[in-house]
Amino acid sequence: MGYPDRVNIGKPGRGLLQFVVLRGRRGAEARANMAENGKRKRNILILAAVIIVLIVAVFSLRKKAPLVPFEEVVREDLSATITSNGKVEPVAATVARAGFPAFVSRVAAHEGQAVRRGQLIVTLDAADVRSQLAQARADLLGAQTDLQHARAGGPPDEVAQFESDLQAARLEVTNLEHDEQALENLVAQHAATPEELVQQQARLAKARGNLKALEAKKQLRTQQSAVTVESAGLHVSQAQELVRSLEEKVRSATVVAPTDGTLYSLPVKAGDYVKVGDTLAEMADLKHVQVRAFVDEPDLGALEAGQDVEVTWDARPDHMWTGHTGQVPKQAVARGMRSVGEVLCTIDNGRLELLPNVNVQVRILVRERRGALVVPREAVRDDRGRHYVFLLVDGKVRRRDITVGVASASKYEVLSGLAAKDRVALPAEKELKDGMEVRPMEAD
């Protein structure tokens, strides 16, 4: 207990009062301190209790086995399919293209129309081409005449004149030789003078020179004839090719249906100007079409000819077309960001509802198993190429290696390692390990 340091003795009444007041104040402070200390102790005890409860709860939760969904192994029919996208194409389409630049003079049909063989579709203005064809035919006739002359050695009149000159020169030489012989006899008999014989020999020498020149000219003409014939023959071939080309252009100016079918594309109208190669019309028998399916590279190994195919089209979601795989791809090609094989599928389109060039969805039935033992795909795990599952045995999961067969989009066929009614674990929040205790629950 404390006492005041100083007390006013001179005034006893006043000093006593101060002492009493001071002591009362200090007592109140002591009681307040005691109450505060008690409150702190209670708070510490409460906090300690909460911590102990939390620790106990955490340890309790840690000891509790995790919940794991399980699914029973069953037998059912299993189909392995490949799904992809594709494009519809006519099986044997006829595409008419412009063979020369021209204006469309007439359109005699409309797009989507059923056409008969020989029916007129489009006509182009071919006046200029017909004029060119007439000139080309005239040029061909001239080239053929030149070839005949080249083979004969020249024009008939020139050849006849040359042969006549050559024959006359030979006859002149023969006559002069006879005259020379006769004159030599006369000179020997002194019936003619030697000067006459010399003159005769001069005339003979001149005739022989003329004949030799003509024969040399004939030989030269014969040698040149081979070159002339080759050149003339080339001109004839070129003229014939030009005539054939122009005749084909004239024929192409009139577009007709080659067979019965459907005119599924007609991009031109009367008065349009078309360039070489522009499409005028596309026709085909659309009762049978093909779908070019783009199958991703990993699925190519399962493809075979004759597999069942189902085709759907977003524009007709209530309808499905069926068919079979035909040509199986021999290589993969790049298509955008994918590596695919192009599979040609023959599709029945008897109602003509499936249109060329539309994009469709394709489902190919690769394999089918009746009464197969199956497990969900998500239950099958992989360990460096070996497949396994976690099997429920007496409240624990046990690793079991399995052999799988046909796979669908959601299930695997099990060939060995499991039996019907076995329960296999599906993926859970906690990673499973062999021998782990679990609390099983049925999968949704």
Q: In the chain, helix, strand, coil percent, each to 5?
A: 40, 35, 25
Closest CA to 319 of 359, 358, 351, 294: 351
What is residue 48's predicted lDDT score, i.e. its pLDDT? Answer: 73
Residue 53: inside a domain: no
What is residue 299's predicted lDDT score, i.e. its pLDDT? Answer: 87
Q: Which of these three, 317, 333, 368, is where a domain ends?
A: 368
Contact 320, 354 (CB under 8 A): no
Q: Does residue 233 share a domain with residue 134? A: yes
Which DSSP helix (H) or strand (E) runs through 343?
A: strand 338-348
The number of domains in the chain is 4
Q: Does residue 378 share a domain with residue 421? A: yes
CA distances from 64 to 257, 403, 438, 439, 440 (A): 80, 33, 9, 9, 13
Residue 323: inside a domain: yes
Q: Does residue 323 share a domain with residue 261? A: no
Q: Does residue 303 share a domain with residue 362? A: yes
What is residue 136's predicted lDDT score, i.e. its pLDDT? Answer: 95
Q: Does residue 375 share a domain with residue 230? A: no
What is residue 6's predicted lDDT score, i.e. its pLDDT? Answer: 46
Residue 40: inside a domain: no
Contact 73, 419 (CB under 8 A): yes
Residue 354: inside a domain: yes
What is residue 437's predicted lDDT score, i.e. its pLDDT? Answer: 93
Q: Domain with 434 in it: what CATH number?
A: 2.40.420.20
Burial class (CB in 10 A: 0-12, 13-18, 19+), 42: exposed
What is residue 432's predicted lDDT score, i.e. its pLDDT? Answer: 92
Q: Does residue 245 share a domain with residue 261? A: no
Q: Does residue 414 share a domain with residue 380? A: yes
What is residue 309's predicted lDDT score, i.e. its pLDDT? Answer: 95
Residue 194: inside a domain: yes
What is residue 435's predicted lDDT score, i.e. its pLDDT? Answer: 93
Contact 413, 366 (CB under 8 A): no
Alpha-carbon distance 422 to 425, whole Å?
10
Q: Does residue 244 share a domain with residue 131? A: yes
What is residue 121's predicted lDDT score, i.e. its pLDDT? Answer: 96
What is residue 34's predicted lDDT score, i.e. its pLDDT? Answer: 66
- The full DSSP string for 215-226 is HHHHHHHHHHHH
Q: Which domain holds residue 266?
A: 94-99+109-117+254-284
Q: Which of these three, 231, 264, 284, is where a domain ends?
A: 284
Task: Tell me which residues of the chain have a pLDDT lower than 50.
Answer: 1-11, 16, 19, 61-62
Q: Which of these three, 368, 383, 398, is where a domain ends?
A: 368
Q: Does residue 202 share a domain with residue 297? A: no
What is residue 56's predicted lDDT score, i.e. its pLDDT? Answer: 57
For residue 434, what are its two tokens? 């062999």
Q: Does residue 346 share a domain with residue 273? A: no
Q: What are phi and psi of 114, to 5 degrees?
A: -80, 130
Q: Does residue 241 share a domain with residue 259? A: no
User: The pTM is what?
Assistant: 0.52
Closest CA to 411 of 378, 376, 387: 376
3-class secondary-structure state, position 105: strand
Any long-range contacts for 206-209 (C-beta under 8 Å, 24+ apart)? 207/169, 207/172, 207/173, 207/176, 208/173
Closest CA to 326 of 93, 94, 89: 89
What is residue 2's predicted lDDT score, i.e. its pLDDT? Answer: 47
What is residue 5's predicted lDDT score, i.e. its pLDDT? Answer: 47
